[in-house]
Amino acid sequence: MDSTVSVSKGCFAFKRKKRNQGPTSARFSGQSWYKAYRNSLTSSEELLNVLENQVFDEIFGGLIDYISTCTSGCVKSHCEIPAATLLTGVNMPDHSSLFSTLSKKVSHSCSPHVATLWSRDCSSLKASVERMCSQFMLVPANEETGNVSSDDEEEGEAESQNKRKVQRWNFNLKYLVSWYNNFQDNPLPQKKKKATKILPKSSSAKPLVVIIPDFESFTTKVLQELILLLKVFQPKLPFVLVLGVATAVSAVHRVLPHHVSCCLRMKVFHSQPSLAYLNEVLEKVFFLPNRPFHLGGKTFKLLMDVFLFHDFSVMGFIQGFKYCMSQHFFDKDWTALSCMPDELPSAAKHLSKTDIESVRKLPSIRKHIESLSSRKDQIAWITDDNFVKGEIVKLLTELHKYIEAFFTSLKCLNLLTSDLPGAPLEKHLRSVYVLASTCDIVKSQELKEGMKLLSLSSSDELESKLKEVLCILHEAVKNGAQQLETVTKKIDGFLPRFKTLWMPSSPTKSMRSPLKSPSKSARSPLKSPVKSPLKSPLQSPSKILTNISSRSQFREKLREMKDVSSYLSPFEKLRTEVLTCLLEDLFTTFLVSPQTKPLHEVLFFDDVSSVKSYIIGSQRQALLRGLRDPHFYLDCNCCKLSDLGDILPTLPDVSIVYKLHLESGKLINMFDWMQSFLTITNPSTSFEEQTEVDPKLQARFTRAVAELQFLGFIKSSNRKTDHVTRLTWC
């Protein structure tokens, strides 16, 4: 470690000596896993961008229209500031990207004058006004200088000189008025060109848009004064406010007293709830077949938990996803196999010997080899590299196909069960995915429960659901999932039967179906296919019950009736048939957990333990780790420990003191503690008690104890003199 000559206490950061490594991308670019990683990352990023644009367009469409029209309709007599209030939801981490996109969009489509005021920059009115004006006056100039082509260079220079002239003390609204008038009279030449290109130049003046993204965290006083100030200048400068409110509109009225709030003319816009946004992201980006990378059930659940329980942040989810992706690929060349199905053969061809060896070591492959029936194949798997390459391609192609069918049938299942009462199989696709990918869903209690409820559904319900299921299936088949074709045809066959169902039948039967007793319907259609030949002719239950004399007889009769009543109407027959078909042909075949498939490690990332500590940072654990094993963070040779219980004299003092305190009980005797500290740091006089203590060592000990107290491991005790209380017990 480096050292300093400084006498002051504190942290010193030492810059690592630069090695000639270049940027990360250059360092890794030659390696095959990196290429695969880039491919997979860029393809998901593209999808995400498309989706993001689409979502933002939806939110901002109305808002931008409003901004561009609101100033023109301002009546002179009550000239309030138009304030578009955007309700953003409480997912704080997403807001900055939302508002930066908004400001870009506004400057592109309705007005070049946009200023964004974050509360962190606006501690006082003066600061916020300066901030706002500087953004209005400087930003267009910057853009221009950036965009000037060679023939416009002179103007560009003039522009930058202009910029220099505008000094800090000029950032006030009075100056802004003159700047704005100037700008309106003779807009910059480039601006004109742009304006004619992009939008027809409107006669009205361009509004000055002030975006306040985090309304709630503003100091109320600053905000009030800012609004009053803008109101004073409103006749001269057409301001438009955009307030980003995370909670609800009433928050605006809690913050602003009435003489301020009546300066605003509010219009409320809603952004999409982040949960809906996430569902969309999942559907359009993650739950797609033919992706080279999927999140396994456990990692997916981890990310979902962070989202639902902690912050509702879609950005956070996406970052977590990307992190998992990098972790999946990093430094493992065989992950080059995680690619689109059509690139598989070439990827397999480039596998090296060691890569194939690591593929062989994958647990799923081991299982696969063991399950092979022929001895010859097993040997070929272990010895013949080329054979393995071929097999890998075969297995992975199968896996891709399986994934396609898996997602399709997952969607079908979710569609069927999402609106069941009590939602035994969860409402959302995401939770069904977690269930299906972590355990065998077909045998699970939840699916049985769901099927039980489904077998109570009415014909209309079932028919409409079946139609939707067919839609999904047809689409999947169209996209090339041949394995689903037979099921689709079979289900297709059921639909016409629904139509003919009621035509000849008597009304009494149709009346019966909704009145069915649950005990009867609970007879699982799953296990017992319909017993079509009726055991006994149907008798009205009331008739049987009339000639009963004793309770035991009654009970017996009831038991008999239970067996008797297995008469099924044509609809009930059809229903059981449909459900059995769905269960056996669709779910049982295709909803197998991916973990059972060979080579699932290539396409699914399910190593939760390796990413958990990074996605959910835990300061306590980091602290304990630092104290227990300083080498982990310091990365120095002197602190390397063979066993975590070891205490070396070279460890940092806090670490030594911490480790010693682990050995004691609730109360720690300071003197004993120091003695043991001394025996470690100064081993020469270890055996006799050191009464004469080196003041330097004593000072080090005192300081370490103080640090430990600051970290919250001990506190001073009043019970015994010279003792401290230990606070943590691990």
Q: Per CB under 8 A, does 246 bind another protein?
A: yes
Residue 362 sits in the site that holds another protein (CB under 8 A): no
Residues 219-238 touching another protein, rule: CB under 8 A, are 225, 228-229, 232
- Residue 259 sits in the site that holds another protein (CB under 8 A): yes
Our finding on whether 170 is near another protein (CB under 8 A) is: yes
Cβ-based neighbours of 521, under 8 Å, separated by 6 or more: 452, 455, 456
Sheet holding 723-726, edge to edge: 667-669, 723-726, 714-716
CB of 281 closer than 8 Å to CB of 318: yes
Member of 41, 47, 51, 90 binding another protein (CB under 8 A): 90
Element (H, E) at 723: strand 723-726
Identify the CA nearest to 125 among candidates 228, 2, 257.
228
Residue 270 touching another protein (CB under 8 A)? yes
248 binding another protein? (CB under 8 A)? yes
Q: Which of 548, 564, 616, 711 binds another protein (CB under 8 A)?
A: 616
208 DSSP β-pair partners: 239
Q: Is 216 in the site for another protein (CB under 8 A)?
A: yes
Residue 690: CA count within 13 A, CB half-sphere: 23
Q: Which is nearer to another protein, 89 or 594 (CB)?
A: 89
* Cβ-based nearer residue to another protein, 275 or 697: 275
Shorter beta-carbon distance to another protein: residue 311 or 377: 311
Identify which range of 250-258, 443-451, 573-581, 633-641 contacts another protein by CB under 8 A.
250-258
Please report whether residue 306 would count as binding another protein according to CB under 8 A: yes
**Does residue 618 touch another protein according to CB under 8 A?**
yes
Kindly state the smallest distance separating residue 587's Cβ from another protein, in Å: 30
Sign of the alpha-carbon torsion through 718, 724, 727, 729? negative
Pairing of strands 714-716, 208-212: unpaired
Structure tokens at 703: 């300081």
Instruction: Check residue 596 for interaction with another protein (CB under 8 A).
Output: no
How many whole angstroms from its chain centre is CA 274?
10
> From residue 143, how far is each of 140, 176, 184, 435 by CA, in Å?
5, 19, 18, 51
Total of chain residues touching another protein, rule CB under 8 A: 56
Q: How far is CA 195 from the centre of its chain?
A: 39
Q: What is the number of residues in the chain?
A: 730
CB-based contacts of 100, cutoff 8 Å, min separation 6: 116
Q: Which is nearer to another protein, 121 or 342 (CB)?
A: 121
Decide: is 273 part of the binding site for another protein (CB under 8 A): yes
Q: How far, CA to CA in Å, does 536 sit from each of 339, 437, 563, 564, 566?
A: 61, 45, 9, 6, 9
Cα separation of 99 and 109, whole Å?
Answer: 15
Assess 249 for contact with another protein (CB under 8 A).
yes
As measured in angstroms, the least distance from the Cβ of 186 to another protein is 17
- Cβ closer to another protein: 264 or 344? 264
Closer Cβ to another protein, 72 or 686, answer by number: 72
The verdict on 278 binding another protein (CB under 8 A) reads no
Instruction: Work out whether 168 is an interface residue with another protein (CB under 8 A).
Output: no
Residues whose CB is less than 8 angstroms from the CB of residue 485 and which lie 6 or more positions away in sequence, other chains included? 477
Collect all residues with Cβ–Cβ distance below 8 Å to 514 and sequence separation of at least 6: 458
Confirm or reject binding of residue 276 to another protein (CB under 8 A). no
What is the distance between the alpha carbons of residues 9 and 18, in angstroms, rounded to a whole number?
27
| By the rule CB under 8 A, 625 interacts with another protein | no
Q: Is 76 in the site for another protein (CB under 8 A)?
A: no
Q: Could you tell me if 85 and 46 are in contact, meaning their C-beta atoms sit under 8 angstroms apart?
A: no
- Residue 266 is a binding residue for another protein (CB under 8 A): yes
List the one residue from 28, 31, 38, 80 that touches another protein (CB under 8 A): 80
Q: Within positions 119 to 158, which residues make up the interface with another protein, using CB under 8 A?
A: 124-126, 129
Supply 643's token pair. 């066993």
Query: Is residue 309 involved in binding another protein (CB under 8 A)?
Result: yes
The three-class DSSP label of residue 114 is strand
Which residue has 């039948």 as its token pair? 505
Q: Smaller CB distance to another protein: residue 133 or 491? A: 133
- Which position has the token pair 């008798």? 539
608 binds another protein (CB under 8 A): no
Residue 620 contacts another protein per CB under 8 A: yes
The interface mask with another protein, positions 671-690, x = CB under 8 A, is --------------------
Site residues (CB under 8 A) for another protein, limited to 92-121: 92
Which residue in the set 195, 268, 641, 697 belongs to the binding site for another protein (CB under 8 A)? 268
Instruction: Using CB under 8 A, list all residues that contact another protein.
Output: 77-78, 80, 87, 89-90, 92, 124-126, 129, 169-170, 172-175, 178, 214, 216-217, 225, 228-229, 232, 246-251, 253, 255, 258-259, 261-262, 264-268, 270, 273, 275, 306, 308-312, 616-620
